[in-house]
Chains A and B, each alone.
Chain A
Amino acid sequence: MSEFKKLTYDVLTVGEEFVSNDHLVTPEDIDAYAFAVDDHHPWFFGSSPFGGAVAHPTLVANQALHLRHSKYIVHAGLHAKMEFQFLQPIQPGMRVRSRGKVIDKYERRGKHYMVTEYVTEDVATGAPLIRGQFTQMLIPERP
Chain B
Amino acid sequence: MAVTETIAVGQELPTLVKEISQRQIDTYSGVRPNSIHTDEAWARKKGFRTTLAQGMMSTAYVSEMMTRLLGAGFVKGGTMSVAFIKPVYAGDRLTVHGVVKEMRPEGGATRAVVDVWCENQHGEKTAAGQASGLVS
Interface presence of A111 (CB below 8 A): no
Whole-angstrom CA separation of A61 from B54 in the bound complex:
11
> In the assembled complex, which residues on chain A have CB atoms less than 8 Å from the CB atom of B81?
81-84
A-B Cβ contacts below 8 A, count: 100
Q: Report B33-66 residues with CB < 8 Å from chain A CB.
A: 36, 46, 54-57, 59-61, 63-64
Does B76 lie within 8 Å of A88, measured CB to CB? yes
**A80-111 contact mask (Cβ, 8 Å, vs B): 1 or 0:** 11111111110000000000000000000000
Interface size counted on chain B using CB atoms at 8 A: 31
Interface magnitude class on chain A: 20 to 34
**A34-47 contact mask (Cβ, 8 Å, vs B): 1 or 0:** 01111101010000
Interface presence of A26 (CB below 8 A): no
Does B61 lie within 8 Å of A37, measured CB to CB? yes
Does B82 lie within 8 Å of A82, measured CB to CB? yes
Q: Report A9-47 residues with CB < 8 Å from chain B CB.
A: 32-33, 35-39, 41, 43
> In the assembled complex, which residues on chain B have CB atoms less than 8 Å from the CB atom of A49?
71-72
Interface residues of B, Cβ cutoff 8 Å to A: 18, 24-25, 27-29, 36, 46, 54-57, 59-61, 63-64, 67, 71-72, 74-84
Interface residues of A, Cβ cutoff 8 Å to B: 32-33, 35-39, 41, 43, 48-50, 54, 56-58, 61-62, 65, 76, 78-89, 139
CB-based closest 4 A-B pairs: A36-B28, A37-B60, A79-B55, A36-B27
Sample of 26 A–B contacts (CB below 8 Å):
A35-B24, A36-B57, A37-B24, A37-B57, A39-B61, A48-B75, A49-B72, A54-B75, A58-B59, A58-B60, A62-B28, A62-B54, A78-B84, A79-B54, A80-B83, A81-B82, A82-B59, A82-B82, A83-B79, A83-B82, A84-B59, A84-B79, A85-B79, A86-B74, A86-B75, A88-B76
